[in-house]
Amino acid sequence: MKITIVGGGNIGTQFAVHCAEKGNDVTIYTSTPALFHGPLNIVDESGATTHQGVVNLATADPEVAFRNAELVLVTVPATMMKTTAETIYQYSDSAPMIGVVPGNGGSECAFRKCVERGNIFFSIERVPAVARLVLKGKTVKSTGYRSELHVAAKPGRYAQHCAELIEGIFNIPTTSISNILNLTMTPSNPILHTTRLRTIFNDWREGVVYDYLPLFYEEWNDASSELLIACDEEVQEICRALPEFDLRFVKSLRTHYESYTVDAMTKKISSITAFKGLPTPVVKVEGGFIPDLHSRYFTADFSYGLTIIKQVANFANVQTPHIDATLRWYEKIAVEKDEFRFEDYGITDRESFEKFYLK
């Protein structure tokens, strides 16, 4: 297939290697095309190459990137999804299938015009593996490949076809899900990152400088687990209040990590090999560190993650005190005010919400 990967970062590079390795004609749409030359490599923890592929082209020209694509795979942050969808709509037609990873962030709304003109849109619940660039345009380290992936689509009847496509690229068993709201509500980074950030920086205000901050996952603590479990339960309450949407694939983080107590959750997250060494998002300043409020951990996972879950809770008439408190905390320190709003896509109440997700 002629495949265009949107984004040349961690996940975009990972996707490009797997797609090219399978013999597809791969183009990377990136702001830094000059960095991509020669083969792309995926390496493991030891630095050994596990996958390799050669892309046909890297370009910053949207017309070149999208005009002949049969499949477009979008790997940019949720904060860029609306403008990315508008660009793809402008420079492609109804021919290419459009896929997004990960599946939360409201991408199904951003690509609504594409679906209405005939594009098949799908999203992948979670990334296939943890990916971290070693050298941009050349090498990415991918660890902790999942044993199963989940895919949903709009229109929903194409979900199985899209699942088979992704399974063929990654050689990972992939299950199709009937309703894409399952992916929107998946409590991955929107719960995992936001609860951890709140507990790390709960006392932060302008002028506070830290001389030490813990590793994000490896030094995970019980306070973070307690808040995570409370918010995770609120997500499950929302799902139970929406039985007509068949949200059984919104797996609780307690189930996902097989950890049902605070102590067990702390031990589990802090011991995950793929998370070892990952830092808390900070900016180094005179005297120490302050939170990096421009990190996507903040700008995407609150404004395009947790806030979406809260809006669905409003449609379902479910109270979410722990999610509310976490969002209020973020609002006090946020430097980027852009956020996802269902109303921007004509979804203003339970009726319009059901119409969009159930048709």
- Domain parsing of the chain, residue ranges: 2-184, 189-358
8 Å CB contact between 24 and 90: no
Residue that the structure tokens 């007509």 belong to: 244
Tens of pLDDT, residues 290-303: 999 999 999 999 99
Same fold? 2-184, 189-358 = no
- pLDDT reported for residue 151: 97
- pLDDT reported for residue 52: 97
| Neighbour-count burial of 230, counting CB atoms closer than 10 A to its CB (0-12 exposed, 13-18 middle, 19+ buried) | middle
Q: Is the pLDDT of residue 274 over 90?
A: no
Fold classified for 2-184: Rossmann fold (3.40.50)
- Mean per-residue pLDDT, 46-67: 96
Average pLDDT, the chain: 96
Tens of pLDDT, residues 183-241: 999 999 999 999 999 999 999 999 999 999 999 999 999 999 999 999 999 999 999 99
Closest CA to 162 of 204, 189, 125: 125
Beta bridge partners of 176: 151
Q: Is the pLDDT of residue 259 over 90?
A: yes
Q: How confident is residue 253, by pLDDT bands cut at 50, 70 and 90?
A: very high
Q: What's at 124, amino acid-wise?
A: I
Beta bridge partners of 139: 41, 135
Closest CA to 118 of 100, 93, 87: 93
Q: Is the pLDDT of residue 83 over 90?
A: yes
Q: Which tokens in the block code for residue 33?
A: 């095309």
| Neighbour-count burial of 30, counting CB atoms closer than 10 A to its CB (0-12 exposed, 13-18 middle, 19+ buried) | buried
8 Å CB contact between 312 and 235: no
Q: What is the CATH number of domain 189-358?
A: 1.10.1040.10
For 128-199, strand residue ranges (E) read 130-135, 139-143, 149-154, 174-177
Closest CA to 63 of 92, 98, 86: 92
Closest CA to 151 of 112, 183, 119: 183
Closest CA to 100 of 121, 117, 118: 121
- pLDDT reported for residue 212: 94
